[in-house]
Amino acid sequence: MFALKTIHLEKKVSNENQIILLFDLDSSCPCLYPMLYTMKFLRFQSISTQHADLIAIKFWYEFWHEKFSTSFCESFYSTAYNFEIIQGEIDNFIVYLENNKKIESNLIRLRNTDHTNYTTIGHRIRSFLKFYSFLIDEYLSIQSQPQLTLKEIQKIKENLNKYMTIKKKIINNFSKANKTIKSEINHNFKSMNQEMIKGLYSVISPSNSNKYNELNPFRSKNVQLRNFLIIHLMLNYGLRIGELMLLTTNSIKKSIQKHNFSLIITNTDDEFDERSKKPKIKNEYSYRVIKLQERDYRILQIYINEIRKEIPSQILFTSLKPPYSALSYASVKKIFDKVDLSLKALLPECFDASAYDSIEHLTELYRVCRRLFYLS
């Protein structure tokens, strides 16, 4: 699938008249971004350093292909250099290395073995983060990201660098006695299987003019669409509850030059926000730009332009009745509580405590969201 090959050069254009490249064996061509990384940076390093760094990148490409059935080069290019897709998989990549380069289909579990070499894993991740840093320098620019302003790009770059600094500190704490990524990944949740996900969407799907959804616990069609968007964004884009409540009508962006859509997560100051516990991004490097699917962009536009067009606040998710208060943590939890009860009625067997993959009671949907997406 992927392999490292040493290329001997006639002229000395590198440190040692030879370079190492990562090849895609299916196409018999070098992988684009690792090749650029080698030509612009690694070729000035020793052969042993080139090999060590490219081994880590090779493992990343294998992980990506196994998980998504496509090349990382294809994914990165087709998403218009969306760094969110990389950052969202780094922790999973670490677990992949801990699992001896294996991915479980439903739930990734840590290998509880004394044979895992965490020093080596730390080296691999540091090598990969150097590659990630190279991609940031090359492709986080006005030319590559025309939908963003220079100020937004500088802020994102600053926060990505802070993210990597913190990640490196965590990696430095790896040891035989420390087999987890210090509170960064919580593996104790029970995953939702396909039946549960299908049932969930059966419950939260909004009614339309042709069919009223009897499973939906919310009577108003406008409320149904709002709550559908809340749950859909959390489950499909990994939004934390604080991030969800920070969204404004200006958070949804469309690229002028390309058919790309983005969801921007940042702090906001809204004069109509009277919540006693105001949401804020988790920390400074949590500023995010998420690639948004066109279908979801259009649904959000319907919600903004039709359902909440009379609401003076820019906060995206508010009550749909005067005085149109912004939704609080408690309000969002109530939504999950009601959906949880409806899902339990629809799929009682999934709530059987004796079943291995049961959700159990306890607003398990809310718990899954909390743990899967690091809600606080």
Determine, yes or no, domain membership for 251: yes
CA 81-137-147 angle, 5° bins: 45
Same domain as 233, residue 166: no
Determine, yes or no, domain membership for 336: yes
Q: What gap in Å lies between CA 10 and CA 18, rounded to an integer? A: 9
Same domain as 198, residue 156: no
Q: Greater confidence, 373 or 358?
A: 358
Average pLDDT taken over every residue of the chain: 81
Residue ending a domain, choose from 142, 172, 202: 172
Same domain as 106, residue 217: no
In the beta sheet, which residues pair with residue 290? 263
Work out the average pLDDT over 223-243. Answer: 90
Determine, yes or no, domain membership for 184: no
Determine, yes or no, domain membership for 179: no
Same domain as 360, residue 266: yes
Q: What gap in Å lies between CA 223 and CA 230, rounded to an integer? A: 11
Q: Does pLDDT of 174 surpass 70? A: no
Same domain as 149, residue 251: no
Same domain as 277, residue 213: yes
Specify the CATH number for the domain of residue 212.
1.10.443
Same domain as 341, residue 202: yes
Q: Does pLDDT of 361 surpass 50? A: no
Determine, yes or no, domain membership for 85: yes
- Written as six digits, the tokens of 255 are 């690229």
- Written as six digits, the tokens of 366 are 């809310």
Per-residue pLDDT, 11: 66
Work out the average pLDDT over 347-355. Answer: 69
The neighbour count for residue 154, using CB atoms within 10 Å, is 12
Q: Does pLDDT of 286 surpass 60? A: no
- Helices vs strands, H then E, count in the chain: 13, 6
Same domain as 364, residue 217: yes
CB 196 within 8 A of CB 359: yes
Band (pLDDT 50/70/90 cuts) for residue 236 is: confident
Determine, yes or no, domain membership for 222: yes
Residue ending a domain, choose from 118, 141, 172: 172
Determine, yes or no, domain membership for 186: no
Provide the domain count of the chain.
2
Q: What gap in Å lies between CA 341 and CA 218, rounded to an integer? A: 12
Which 8-state DSSP code applies to residue 64?
Answer: H
Same domain as 199, residue 159: no
In terms of residue numbers, what domain contains 7? 2-172
Q: Which of 211, 235, 366 has the alpha carbon at shortest distance from 296?
A: 235
CB 108 within 8 A of CB 97: no
Determine, yes or no, domain membership for 139: yes
CB 160 within 8 A of CB 136: yes
